[in-house]
Homo-oligomer: A and B are copies of this chain.
Amino acid sequence: MVNIVEIAQLVGVSPSTVSRVINGKPYVKAEKKKEILKIVEETGYIPNKAARNMVLRRSFTVGIVIPDDFNMFRRQLFSIIERHLNAFGYHTLFFFVKQDEESEKTCLDRLKSENLDGIIMLHEMKSPGFYRYLESARIPAVSTTCGSGAVPAVPTVTLDDESAAVDAVNHLIGLGHRNIAMLNGKGFSYGNRRLDGYLKALEAAGGRDCALVIEADRYSSQAGLEAMGALLDSGAGFTAVFASSDELAIGAMRALRDRGLKVPGDVSVMGFDDIDISNYLCPRLSTIRQPIAEIGEQAALMLHRFIRGEKEDGAGAVLPHTLVARESTKGTGPRVLLNPVPRGP
C-alpha cells in the first residue's frame, strides 16, 4: 500500500501539499494540484483511514445500535437511515445488541473505542449507564425507538404510539367489534404505549372490562403464533385482535387458520408497522403505517444537525401515522362472540 510520503516523493512535493489537495484545501498552485492528482490516480492511492481518524480525533462514522434480532420494520428503517447518512458523508457502523446486560455492556465498550461522530438508536437500552455515557461524552445521538422525551439527552423521532393504537382499536370498534384482544410484544417501551392506547380506546367505548391482553415473548411471527395459540386455548372469546407488530399479526393469523378459523371471517386481525410484506399477504393485512421513510430521513437529518452543533430544541419529532384498512379486518355482522373451537381432533 502506497502512502502519502511516497506520493509526495513521486511528485516532488511535501506530504503537507499532498494532504492539502486530497482534502480539497485551498492554497495549492493549480499545476501542482494537477500533478498530484495524476499520481494519486495512477497509483490508486487511498488515504489510510485509521491514521486520518487518529489525528482528526473523529471517525466520520455514525453508529447504529439495533437489536440483534431486528425485525423487518427495522430492516427497512435502517436502510433508509443508512442511505441518508451516506448522503451527508458519514459512514455507518452497526452495533447489534441482544436483550441482556452483558451484550449492552459490550456494545458500550465498543462504542467508546470507536470515536463515533454520532449515534442512531434503533434500540432501547435497559442500562441507564448507556445513556449517561452518551451524555457525559457528549456524543450526539438520536433515537427512533425510545418514547418521545424519555431520554433527555437523546431526541427521538417516532410516531405517537398510543394514539396510533387508539386509532387501530377504534377501527375495529367502528367495524362493530366489542371483544378485541391485544397481542403485545415484550421488551420495548412502545409495547406499553400501544397497550395504553388499546386500553384507552376500549375505555372510551365503554368496554374496558372486555380488555384481553396476551403478551408474546418478542415481536416475531413465531411469537405471534404461540401467543395466539395460547389465547385460543384459554377459551377466551373475541372477534378481533390488535397485534402490536405486523409480524406478530402474521403469526396470529397462522394460528387462527390452524384452528380452522377464518380471517377476517371469524376474527379480524389488525397489525402495526406496515412492513412491505403486509400488502402481499392473503388477506392483505390491515395495519397502522409507520411513516418509515420520514422517520428515517428526520432521524438522519436531526443527527446531522446535532453533530454540526446546531443544537436541537430538545425532544425530537412526532410524525403522523396512517390507518391502513385492508382485507384482514371487517365488520362483525351478527355480532356474536366467537367461541373458539376446541383444540385437536
Binding site for B on A (CB under 8 A): 1, 44, 46-51, 53-54, 59, 68-69, 72, 75, 79, 82-83, 91-94, 96, 109-110, 112-115, 137, 220-222, 225, 247, 250-251, 253-254, 257, 276-277, 280-282
7 cross-chain pairs, A with B, having the tightest CB-CB distances, nearest first: A50-B53, A50-B54, A46-B112, A49-B113, A254-B280, A221-B280, A46-B113
Are the C-beta atoms of B72 and A79 separated by less than 8 Å?
no
Are the C-beta atoms of B281 and A49 separated by less than 8 Å?
no
Can you list 6 contacts pairing A with B, beta carbon distance less than 8 Å? Answer: A1-B137, A48-B54, A222-B276, A247-B277, A250-B281, A282-B282
Are the C-beta atoms of A92 and B91 separated by less than 8 Å?
no
Assembled-state Cα–Cα distance A276/B272 (Å) = 19
Query: At the interface, is chain A mostly helix, strand, loop or mixed?
Result: helix
Rounded to whole Å, the gap between the CB of A100 and the closest CB of chain B is: 14
Most B Cβ at <10 Å: residue of A46, A82, A251, A277: A277
A113 — which chain B residues lie within 8 A by C-beta? 46-49
Assembled-state Cα–Cα distance A253/B281 (Å) = 9
A250 — which chain B residues lie within 8 A by C-beta? 277, 280-281
Rounded to whole Å, the gap between the CB of A111 and the closest CB of chain B is: 9
Rounded to whole Å, the gap between the CB of A91 and the closest CB of chain B is: 7
Are the C-beta atoms of B68 and A79 separated by less than 8 Å?
yes
Are the C-beta atoms of A82 and B96 separated by less than 8 Å?
yes
Q: What would 13 more interface pairs be, CB under 8 Å, given A44-B112, A48-B115?
A: A1-B137, A46-B109, A46-B112, A46-B113, A50-B53, A54-B54, A72-B75, A79-B96, A91-B110, A221-B276, A254-B280, A281-B281, A282-B282
